[in-house]
Amino acid sequence: MSHPEIYRRLTGRLQCLNITRPDFSYAIQHRSQFLSQPRQPHYDAALHLVRYLKGTVNRGLVYPVQQSLLLLGFSDADWGRFSFSRRSLTLTAYCAFLGTALLSWKIKKQKTVSKSSAESKYRSMFETTSELAQLAGLLWDHQSSPSLPITLLPDNKADARTAQNPVFHNRTKYLGTDGHYVSDTNQEGYLLTAHVSSQS
């Protein structure tokens, strides 16, 4: 690309919109990886995002005035998707809702290389549980009590069962002590994990 500063400026502007438009946060994150040496296909993809935004101007986040204090988290991971990094790229690491309002979401590459999709998804559940605990703490700090147990919905049946039943811990020793945080919060009645299908 002959003028990389145009691509950098456009990507920076799109990142500002990322705060209220989680539907394209992954695309922005991916575009940001090529800021140092953008090529024409990267610029074309950024323009595609601009066209998408133009067609979806009326979409955004809605925060109703009357809201239940039910915290709900969804967790997912995609293992080994990109061959150039060989890392599990978490496409939708998590999203957390308070009632029907989306409060928090994160999309990122996992720091460690996972050996299986189950390990990748369980690490994503750990991050989601940590985020839900932090959001519950914020609610308690503001004199509001979230409904317990907090619900975590992964799309992997095996990981949901592992979190509910400590008998499976022998099979997940590779996760270390931080990986059992999800199971510990389940046993304490603070968190409830239940499977949700990928389509949902």
- pLDDT over 60 (residue 82): no
Q: Regarding predicted confidence, which is higher, 178 or 28?
A: 28
Q: What is the pLDDT of residue 88?
A: 43
Share of the chain above pLDDT 90, in %: 14
The residue among 102, 101, 120, 103 whose CA lies nearest residue 111 is 120
What is the per-residue pLDDT for 165?
62
184 vs 98: which has the higher pLDDT = 98
Q: pLDDT category, 172, cuts 50, 70, 90? A: low
The pLDDT of residue 10:
92
Question: pTM score, two decimals?
Answer: 0.69
Domain boundaries, the chain: 4-55, 71-193
Q: Does residue 12 have a pLDDT over 80?
A: yes
Question: What integer is the mean pLDDT of 34-49?
Answer: 91
Instruction: Classify domain 71-193 at the CATH class level.
Output: alpha beta
